[in-house]
Amino acid sequence: TGCSFGTPTGTIHPDDLQKSNADIVQVDRNNEYFFNQLTHYKISFKSFMVIRDPRDIIISDYFSIRYSHSVNYWIKQLRPILNSVTKEEGITILLSYYIPRFAEIRRLLANENIMKIHFTDLVDDSFTTYKKIFNYDNLYFDEKVMKTMLDKHSFENIAKRQRGIED
């Protein structure tokens, strides 16, 4: 059987999701409203969320937004601001955005239909972690294909440097 994909944006109604017959729905970032609607309308779902240390998120985003992230609306607004203030001020600016988002993530983590995956597990043992995700969601897992994909998209192959070495 094939899979169909959907991406909820804005205010998708759960009835529309059921009518779409999507097997897999991608939710960008965390969308508390979307998950609350699924629960409210008693729609059966499974999901996973990658959890990262909030300190790592802030620091990583600070440097990514300031120097290397491809330009989109968010980056276009923030990059000049971050480049005009000290590092500490820039991190404080990002904290003002992220603190409410972290609270939303914390509430989502209480949902029993959401598998919690630690970012460090993806980094330390990507293959085993993805296998757990695929098994949790009852998806076919082709080990050879997964190994090829993980190698192709590894940090070292994309960044052209070893992890932990600054460029």
Cβ 131 vs Cβ 146: under 8 Å: yes
Residues 6+ apart with CB under 8 A from 17: 6, 8, 25, 38, 43
- CA neighbor of 93 nearest in space, from 72, 71, 78, 74: 78
Residues 6+ apart with CB under 8 A from 154: none
pLDDT tens profile 50-89:
889 999 999 999 999 999 888 989 899 999 999 999 999 9
Whether this model's pTM surpasses 0.85: no
Cβ 26 vs Cβ 9: under 8 Å: no
pLDDT tens profile 81-127:
999 999 999 999 999 988 988 888 888 888 887 889 999 999 899 99
